[in-house]
Amino acid sequence: MLGKGLVLVEGTDWVRHRRVVNPAFAMDKLKMMTATMVSCAESLIKEWEQLASRNESREVEVEFSKQFQDLTADVISHTGFGSSYKEGKEVFHTQKQLLALAMATLLNVQLPGFKYLPTKNNRLKWMLEKKIKTMLMAIIQPRLASNGGGYGDDLLGLMLEACLTTEQGDKRDELTLTMDEIIDECKTFFFAGHETTSHLLTWTMFLLSVYPEWQERLREEVLRECGKENPTADMLNKLKEMTMVLLETLRLYGPVLLMLRKPISDIRLGSLSIPKGNGIVIPIPFLHRDKEVWGDNANDFDPLRFENGITNAAKTPQALLSFSIGPRSCIGQNFAMLEAKSVMAMILKKFSFTLSSSYVHAPADHITLQPKFGLPIVLRPLDV
């Protein structure tokens, strides 16, 4: 589904991919995308305001899990593909179909060679993969053909520029990544840049609904730092309590449940010997609620534990694994946090909110952690 994008490649290939993709996620580049993130959130908020105005109670119930998936897809389509937004959105919808197909067959017993047989599901999978590749090629090739005209200031354009520029800033004659590798990175943009952030936003809304005192604290902070204006990157950078809440949400309800690693040499972890190349599965939720690491209140929602930064939040400085740690840590973590802050700041300025009485708390593992029955929330405009 993701091909050989940055998440899945290893060794020297990973170094080559990371070097190309890294410039697209530099903070100065991300700051320029804040206005797009805010604009996408603003469009959705206006829809909610219109729905609320039609009700006598001036309240509206919204299923946030689905709404945030649509919103983050909108954001990644704009920031990832810019002027090719409509084509990018079509790629996203096709990849979503591919994900649904992968989920439906996840637990099926896979016989050797079965994936090459022309079964109904395999034929559909091949058709969707071919469609995605064709659509992405149609976006990429005109940009490469533009030559000196620039490749665009979106994530794709920045990646293409890095592909064709040496470390000294000179032009290359050939791409650092192959066309198939560029396409796989685009797929990774979509999945990693949409799926995980939408769930971070969903669980943040859940926790702020359950803990209204923190909802009010964040609202006061947003109004103090942003006023009535749409937030800028510099304003969002000042939202310290917002950062604390997002980090605590990632600790309790992080989208990624497992992390896989293989040691490149024989290692020893405490009393455990692990041979080179042996697979290690790291169960993130268990570590994030371990009382020996996080204290007796490990199961409680307490954003103040991050008051002095991530490294001082637990007994171990690198205990928060939501974005992984080390060289292979998530390259898009600043993008995700900036987007989450942009969206939450816009919502907090406009609405107060509570959980709907129909909400059923059932976190479920669907590759990422998400509410099994959605997140229905009642919004009330603040000017009512």
Binding-site residue set: 330
Measured between alpha carbons, how far is residue 277 from residues 6, 14, 30, 274, 371 in Å? 20, 17, 36, 9, 35
Q: Is residue 65 a contact partner of residue 374, using CB atoms and an 8 Å limit? A: yes
Q: Which two tokens stand for residue 352?
A: 């107060």
Q: Is residue 46 a contact partner of residue 352, using CB atoms and an 8 Å limit? A: no
Angle between the N-to-C axes of helices 64-81 and 333-350, in degrees from 0 to 180, rounded to the nearest 10: 130
Half-sphere exposure for 232 (CA within 13 Å, toward CB): 6
Q: Is residue 242 a contact partner of residue 221, using CB atoms and an 8 Å limit? A: yes
Q: Which two tokens stand for residue 230?
A: 């749409």
Half-sphere exposure for 14 (CA within 13 Å, toward CB): 10
Q: Which residue has the tokens 């109904």?
A: 120
Phi-psi category of residue 323: left, alpha or beta, with phi > 0 → left and psi -120 to 50 → alpha: alpha
Pairing, β 351-355 against β 376-381: antiparallel
Q: Which two tokens stand for residue 129?
A: 């993969």
3-state secondary structure of 95: helix
Neighbours of 238 (CB within 10 A): 14
Give Cα 189 distance to the centre of its chain: 9
Q: What are phi and psi of 350, to 5 degrees?
A: -105, -30
Q: Which residues are annotated as a binding site for heme?
A: 330
Q: With b meaning 16 or more CB within 10 Å and e meaning fewer, what string describes 190-213?
A: bbbbbbbbbbbbbbbbbbbbeeee
| Cα–Cα distance for residue pair 34/131, rounded to 1 Å | 31
Q: What are phi and psi of 61, to 5 degrees?
A: -95, 130
Pairing, β 376-381 against β 60-63: antiparallel
